[in-house]
Chain A
């Protein structure tokens, strides 16, 4: 498959800090890609190198089959949305959006038409004469987006596009941005440290850690089949357990000492509530219950291992100190390099229980 954007063996260091360590990946045309990783993992550096705002120490960057290492940023056909939007604060909304078109010396009438069309597209009609400081965070992001796509870029790069917006508006903007990018069909890459954001918005996720690419795949693939220890721990609300073999059904595998477990892999029930799989169930004691709005987060101690479980408010009430049955469906075990999914063999004959 022909890749629209391709990075080959990219290395980049800032002093002693290695921001990119032999990074290679390709992105198909028209896809919306999420670059996901903890802070300092090198995701923003990758984005800035694609844009031409940083230069790799070695390696090649291709956009649409052309090596762009020596092509200046302005000639790469890229739209860039900065983390803090970098709106021109001494220009109003109209002039901000028009800036790229003015630079290209398009005729005035054409510019006006295009800008007004974009302002309408992002839902900011009537605010053309406002200055950035007179807009809310969400509105500024829309202006930044309109400004970035005004010159019709072939590639749109977004650096932490939702980081500066409060939680409520952020949700709204996520789906708005996804719809908008789908509508335009422009190949897009956005950087984020928020996995919910990446999973919800991206067609495909690239996970970075310590300057390397850990895994690339669809959100579902990454969620269900983490291929490295880092991804297994990073994605989902994962708890690392050192001595998983103590748990019923999970014998210790050769050379593998650690496992990762997520709340959705565990089900707790009151003693004697379940009839099925009694033989596979562990017994545990509830240590802590936290109210999380739409659900409860329960910490349960099973043979000295603290497991985190979520529980619906509709379920029967449990109390701290109560003994409960704990069913563990599966966990991820990992060695130094790879992660594997391990189903509870005691449940294998009947897989009807799924969350």
Chain B
């Protein structure tokens, strides 16, 4: 073995060691932080047998909570998708004053703690809020009611869709749209024929992330809900109540619903990512 071969061998060995350490650290971290707790949730949920598990899951309050979670999630996703498309389109296709400010404002929910978001709505629509008299006069209930929960969920998740689309639209530039406009295509045609096919995967990805976040939202919703069982309880809130009542098995059983939903979303996410990569290659 010549000297340089020997040195190359040393370098290779070093690289291999680094690789092994990094992989080991990542795997151990994920095992300890994510996989173990998930296994714990499932084991606890099934601790008293499948009968007890099904009873907890089929409980009418659990079903009500699940329904509310689905309603809040669907509303948030639909509204944020529409808003996200508009915002992303505005920010990437037009030049105007305060564009930078708008982009920053979109990110506010990422920066503000959800509890504070909840308090903002209490201060706006609650008994001491400035909109209270108007709401009272028109018999509209927001705080401690379903609209409040939907509002809080929307607030917390609204950057997800636009954040995913903006980079894609930026990378695409304006040329294709301009070309289509020059040939006389109207805005709707340009959007459906040129822009939408391009952002399809990013949009879906944003929707998936938005769904995941909306389902798990706790802080903002907790402040606004008032914890009225069967009325304003979402799944995460229901889990907390059960837990505080020392009904551990029930709490974990209900949690497992959320875990299963999360796993389904992760699978969808992976499929989308895979397809998007494929679309990007051709």
Contact = CB atoms under 8 A, between A and B. Distances in A.
Interface of A: 51-53, 73-75, 78, 80, 82, 84, 86-91, 99-100, 103-104, 131, 133-134, 147, 151
Contact of B180 (A89, A99, A131, A134): A99
Given A131-B282, A133-B282, A104 B184 contact: yes
B189 interface: yes
B198 A103 contact: no
A82 B189 CA distance: 20
Interface stretch (B118-126, B171-179, B220-228): B171-179
B175 A88 contact: no
Given A52-B182, A147-B179, 19 more contacts: A73-B181, A73-B182, A80-B178, A80-B182, A82-B175, A82-B178, A87-B176, A88-B176, A88-B179, A88-B180, A89-B198, A90-B198, A99-B180, A99-B185, A99-B193, A100-B184, A103-B180, A103-B184, A133-B282
Contacts of A84: 175
Contacts of A133: 282
9 contacts: A80-B182, A82-B175, A84-B175, A86-B176, A87-B176, A88-B179, A90-B198, A99-B183, A134-B282
B282 A100 contact: no
B101 to A, nearest CB: 18
B51 to A, nearest CB: 53
B185 A86 contact: no
Q: Which of B178, B179, B189 has the most CB of A within 10 A?
A: B179
Nearest to B197: A90
A157 B98 CA distance: 34
Nearest to A75: B184
B194 interface: yes
B179 A86 contact: yes
A73 B177 CA distance: 12
B207 to A, nearest CB: 20
Chain B contact-residue range equals 10 to 19
B197 A53 contact: no
Interface string B20-33: 00000000000000
A88 B175 CA distance: 9
A160 B178 CA distance: 16
Contacts of A89: 176, 198
Contacts of A87: 176
B15 to A, nearest CB: 35
A331 to B, nearest CB: 44
B184 A74 contact: yes
Contacts of A104: 184
A148 to B, nearest CB: 9
Contacts of A52: 182
Nearest to B281: A133
Interface core residue of B176, B182, B282 (most chain A CB under 10 Å): B182
Contacts of B182: 51-53, 73-74, 78, 80
Contacts of B183: 74, 99-100, 103, 151
Contact of A103 (B175, B178, B189, B197): B189
Nearest to A90: B197
B257 to A, nearest CB: 39
B131 to A, nearest CB: 42
Nearest to A74: B184
Nearest to A91: B193
A104 to B, nearest CB: 7
A99 B197 CA distance: 15
Nearest to A150: B183
A134 to B, nearest CB: 8
A336 B282 CA distance: 55
Contacts of B198: 89-90
Contact of B179 (A82, A90, A131): A82
